Amino acid sequence: MKIIFLILLFLIFNSITVSGIKTFQVLITGFGPFLNYTTNPSELVSQNLSSTCKGFNIEGYEPFQVCYEGWVVDVNETGVQKVQKYLEQNGTKWDAIIHLGLDDPALELHIELIGANIKASASRSSFDPIVVGGPNIIPSSFNLRQFNIRDLSSLSKVFDQQNEIFSRDAGTYFCNEIYYRTLYVVHETPILIQNGFLPVLFIHLTDFLIFNLAQDIRMVTEISGYLIATSYLPYEPNF
């Protein structure tokens, strides 16, 4: 086993299905190119993690591993419906879903707290709903109570450059729309795990202004491990 990151309380390592430890499946979506962004970091991160597994050793939790499925979706009406349609037809085969995207001008890194019922529009001045009669906003289903964002070492560089990481506005474009659609189907169906809704999170990456690709990958990996641990595993101080 090759150890790639050694962090004080948080160890991530490459893994090829270690027997005897719990394995979780996480869907990571990224968007293809749009506007003047000919390479979309969200696509690169999603592709890089796809079909890989990482082991986690986080203080307070039993060791576990996460295997990733990466989907790159088109930045249009078809693309943003892909996950929703899959979930509606098949239910979930993942233990968590992380959507990645880029906004314009993509200067700050944000973890989005809500999806809004606003259909993507190029003009950004019309406000048609995504779901007629649907809730105006749907909160993320990740376990915020246990999510101490400042514990994540991969994010320390972000806090050197911006004050906030949580955002209450995912915009009015396809990033918001894919998030709302997934949250909508998770809440309305509902798609449940043992102690709540299936965890769904949206992360807005920057256009490689704060992180390079390897750092983006590490950050998304670390957040996914934290998300799985706090959603599925008991906190046991002795681990």
Ligand X SMILES: *[C@@H]1O[C@H](CO)[C@@H](O)[C@H](O)[C@H]1NC(C)=O
Q: Provide the binding-site residues for ligand X, judged by CB under 6 A.
A: 36-37, 48, 74, 76-79, 85-86, 89-90, 104-105, 207, 213-214, 217
Compare residues 105 and 196 and give the one whose CB is closer to ligand X: 105
- Using DSSP's 3-state secondary structure scheme, residue 91 falls into coil
- State the nearest-atom distance from the C-beta of 77 to ligand X, in Å: 4
Counted residue by residue, the chain has a size of 239
Best CA proximity match to 105, nearest among 163, 159, 179, 173: 173
Pull the structure tokens for residue 194.
């043992």
Residue nearer to ligand X on the CB measure, 210 or 217: 217
Contact 106, 209 (CB under 8 A): yes
Least distance CB 105 / ligand X (angstroms): 4
Residue carrying the six token digits 């506007």: 35
Cβ distance to ligand X smaller for residue 41 or 231: 41
Q: Judge whether 31 and 42 are in contact, CB under 8 Å.
A: yes
Q: Shortest distance, CB of residue 166 to ligand X, whole angstroms?
A: 23
Hey, is 25 helix, strand or coil? strand
The least distance separating ligand X from the CB of residue 29, rounded to whole angstroms, comes to 13
16 vs 150, beta carbon nearer ligand X: 16
How many Å apart are CA 213 and CA 197, to the nearest integer?
Answer: 30
Quote the least distance from Cβ 158 to ligand X, whole Å: 18
CB of 195 to ligand X, least distance (A): 26
Neighbours of 104 (CB within 10 A): 14
Q: Answer yes or no: are the C-beta atoms of 37 and 25 closer than 8 Å.
A: no
Judged by CB, which is closer to ligand X: 39, or 148?
A: 39
DSSP 211-233: --HHHHHHHHHHHHHHHHHHHHS
Q: Given the complex with ligand X, which of 62 and 69 has the nearer CB atom? A: 69
